[in-house]
Amino acid sequence: MSIRSLMRSAAGRVLAAALAVAAVTAGLTSPAAAQSRATAEKAPAHTGCDPIAGPTCLLPYPDDWYTRPDRWTPTGRRLDFSASDLPVSALAGPTDPTAWNRLDGFSPGSALVLTVPGLDPAASGLAPITDIGRSLAPSAPIVILDQTTGTRWPYWAELDANDPQHRALLVHPARDFLDGHHYVVGIRNLRTATGAPIPPPAPFARILGHRLPKQDPLRERQSELKPDLRTLTRDGVRTSDLYLAWDFTVASAASLTGDLTSIRDDAFARLGSAAPAFTVTSVTDLTPTQDPDIARVVDGTIQLPSYLSQPGGPTGSVFNRGPDGRPAQLPGNIQTANFRCEIPRAAWTKPSQAALYGHGLLGSRDEVGAANVRAMAGEHDFTFCATDWIGMAAEDQNTVVAALGNLNAFPEVTERVQQGVLNAMFLGRALVNPAGFAASSAFRAPDGHPLLDPRAGVVYDGNSQGGIVGGVLVAASPDVKRGVLGVTGMNYSLLLNRSVDFAALQPALDAGYPDKLQQQLVFQLTQLLWDHAETDGYAEHLTDGRQVLMDVAFGDHQVANVSADVEARTIGARLHVPAVAVGRSPDVVPYWGIAPSPTVRYQGSAMVVWDSGTPPAPLTNTAPTGPRYGHDPHEDPRNSPLVRLQKAVFLTTGVVIDVCGGAPCTEPPAS
């Protein structure tokens, strides 16, 4: 069953039940959460919504108005949302800000969100998705300045095509903002379709004027924005041209990744030099007639500390947090993670390369038995092992649907995913520790010779969600130094509107947050939590001492190519060139800002685009639905023998070879 079919049927089965759960739990807050919220709100930096841009709270977004000074964080700030700032779920009521207020800044993948009545992007000269380079022009109407370095930041701007009522302006960073940096935004010279200038919002116009009297409610805001206006002026932006200006701080690496790295460090310190505890539950030997590639399937469980709030960490669990706010193991709480391994026939001749496999959207470890994975194992002597990405596995479907209608439930997704990543790390350690799987009879031939080579280490290969979450595993694992991220991207807040998969889940979001403008803010708020559990929060340091190969399907219907492009720019991946045939890309400069691979045998991280002939995706934030977008190429790269050859060479040597003969990489659609 395809991912889209799975999601349609799954959403149909569980939507009513999940939304009912969200309604039943409306307003329920644990005493610990309530106490944490009260502590966070003792001395807010501001009261109410930022007055500079009108009555809608959180606009513009992201905005340091919703932070407060904190000398204990790396950025010197901390998010300071109150329940009255955040969207209210029609199913579950107000949002408890505790999970957000742990952060010391905003997401590095944050889109800027605001409303500009009457705005015409073309008449205003906004940089579109097809011409990112225009965003850095001296006269660009939107200027994003990294105040830490003094440089301008690239972006593209679009109106929300899903919301003709509000037509929110969305400004997406073309490369993730840098962890811990401070940014100033200036928006100027905006125009309507007739070319008429759009005046600034009345409160901001007053701020731009003369010094306001002490009793004026905007006086303090005027003082706060004065340094930003000076910064913009130094960059050539005249205050008289401004429609709006504000600033925001990006969360530090410690804030983004600290929960996962803390449970990793604690769990591996407890493990020491030992192999993880595991149990083999079944060994199935296959004849060549049954499977020409795979000789043995091993199923089992692996045991490790659980840092979740319920015994055994079932779906719906969140982190159990200690006095320092970091996840802590409840006494005796053990996570039992299921695994499945596929051992190729080639291993009976030469011990195989150990590899972890990451499954797709709301799937399971059983995807390691898919035909393309078995073919890769058989052709290139890999033993692939997989565990479920708990938090985003088949068993979590109800939880995910409920969380879309109730922000209070969203940590149940992202915090359990982090435990799932730790599960995969322990599976990887069992593969490389000589006292682990290699010592088990299940991983030995009848004559006793090993079928695994733990000395070769462990590598990673994953597709779709396995690429999006797999980037976290590669970034954080103590054992995985090289990984393939197939049909990948990052930043779910950018992806969801652009994915055909989200149509099946959209009713859950509509039920909780029916207003389309609020939905854009919900996407941004969930991204603040997603950053802990998907590549976006780890991207800046993903390739520090590690290598990744990104395989992209041109025109992908499920994981938008723009999200892969942002990832490639952020991690510094080089591009196989020519990437696509002339005329295939609608961009003025195709793959702007992604440097080409310097050689046909490139040692480093890279992105390769595979073209099955599918039309380009929409240029709006909408999914490629309908016949005019043709065949969905999402599964094509993994089914190509050439792709599997390139992956195998990369995973075992770190070299990206050109398997396309110096031409764009093309592959007929998978049958």
Residues 482 and 338 placed together within one structural domain of the fold: no
434, 456, 478 - which closes a domain: 456
Whether 510 is covered by a domain: the verdict is no
Residue 258 token pair: 């600290």
Report how far residue 112's alpha carbon sits from residue 246's, in angstroms, rounded to the nearest whole number. 11
436, 456, 476 - which closes a domain: 456
pTM above 0.85, yes or no: yes
H-helix segments, 157-281:
202-208, 219-234, 253-271
Whether 64 is covered by a domain: the verdict is yes
SS3 letters across 10-36: HHHHHHHHHHHHHHHCCCCCCHHHHHH
Residue 515 token pair: 């207003």
Q: Which DSSP string corresponds to 22-88?
A: HHHTTT---HHHHHHHHHHTSS-S--SS-GGG-SSTT-SBS-GGGEEE-TTSTTSEEE---TTTSPP
Whether 382 is covered by a domain: the verdict is yes
Whether 538 is covered by a domain: the verdict is yes
Query: What pLDDT does residue 48 have?
Result: 86
Q: Tens of pLDDT along 247-257?
A: 999 999 999 99
112-114/142-146 β-pairing: unpaired
Q: Specify the DSSP class assigned to residue 166.
A: T
Query: What pLDDT does residue 47 have?
Result: 75
> How many Cβ atoms from other residues are within 10 Å of residue 282's Cβ?
10
Report how far residue 343's alpha carbon sits from residue 290's, in angstroms, rounded to the nearest whole number. 14
H-helix segments, 159-252:
202-208, 219-234
- What residues pair up with 334 in beta bridges, in sequence order? 305
Specify whether the CB–CB gap between 306 and 313 falls below 8 A: yes
Residues 37 and 135 placed together within one structural domain of the fold: yes
Determine the 3-state secondary structure of 161 from DSSP.
coil
Residue 650 phi, psi (nearest 5): -65, -45
Query: What pLDDT does residue 671 have?
Result: 67
Return all residues near 548 (Cβ < 8 A) that are at least 6 apart. 471, 474, 482, 483, 484, 485, 542, 571, 573, 605
Residues 109 and 60 placed together within one structural domain of the fold: yes
Residue 483 token pair: 């990984």
Element (H, E) at 385: strand 382-387
Residues 64 and 77 placed together within one structural domain of the fold: yes
456, 474, 502 - which closes a domain: 456
CA atoms within 13 A on the CB side of 549: 32
Residues 421 and 476 placed together within one structural domain of the fold: no
Query: What pLDDT does residue 17 have?
Result: 46
Residues 174 and 200 placed together within one structural domain of the fold: yes
Q: What is the largest CA-CA distance in the chain?
A: 89
Q: Which DSSP string corresponds to 89-138?
A: BTTTBSPP-HHHHT-SSB-TTPPEEE--TT--HHHHT---TT-GGGGGST
Report the candidate in 408, 530, 399 with the shortest Cα–Cα distance to residue 19: 399
For the chain, report the end-to-end CA distance as a whole number of angstroms.
14
Residues 484 and 365 placed together within one structural domain of the fold: no
Report the candidate in 537, 536, 664, 551 with the shortest Cα–Cα distance to residue 605: 551
Residues 209 and 283 placed together within one structural domain of the fold: no
Residues 408 and 538 placed together within one structural domain of the fold: no
Residues 66 and 176 placed together within one structural domain of the fold: yes
- What residues pair up with 552 in beta bridges, in sequence order? 609
Specify whether the CB–CB gap between 638 and 368 falls below 8 A: no
- Exposure pattern of 86-101 as b/e (b: 16+ CB <10 Å)? bbebbbbbbbbbbbbb
Whether 507 is covered by a domain: the verdict is no
Question: For residue 460, which amino acid is it?
Answer: Y
Q: Show the domain range for 135.
A: 3-251
Q: Which residues of the chain have pLDDT under 50?
A: 1-14, 16-43
Whether 224 is covered by a domain: the verdict is yes
Q: Tens of pLDDT along 65-111?
A: 999 999 999 999 999 999 999 999 999 999 999 999 999 999 999 99
Say what angle helices 397-404 and 3-24 make with each other, to 10 degrees: 60
Number of domains the chain is built from: 3
Specify whether the CB–CB gap between 431 and 437 falls below 8 A: yes
Distances (CA, A) of 197 to 124, 209, 390: 9, 18, 51
Whether 523 is covered by a domain: the verdict is no
Residue 20 token pair: 């009912």
Residues 449 and 465 placed together within one structural domain of the fold: no
Reported residue count of the chain is 671
* CATH number of the CATH domain containing 113: 2.60.40.1220
Whether 378 is covered by a domain: the verdict is yes
- Per the rule left: phi > 0, alpha: psi between -120 and 50, beta: everything else, 78 is beta
Residues 239 and 177 placed together within one structural domain of the fold: yes
155-159/382-387 β-pairing: unpaired
Report how far residue 117's alpha carbon sits from residue 126's, in angstroms, rounded to the nearest whole number. 15
Three-point CA angle 283, 288, 289, nearest 5°: 110
Report how far residue 376's alpha carbon sits from residue 628's, in angstroms, rounded to the nearest whole number. 33
Report how far residue 323's alpha carbon sits from residue 85's, in angstroms, rounded to the nearest whole number. 27
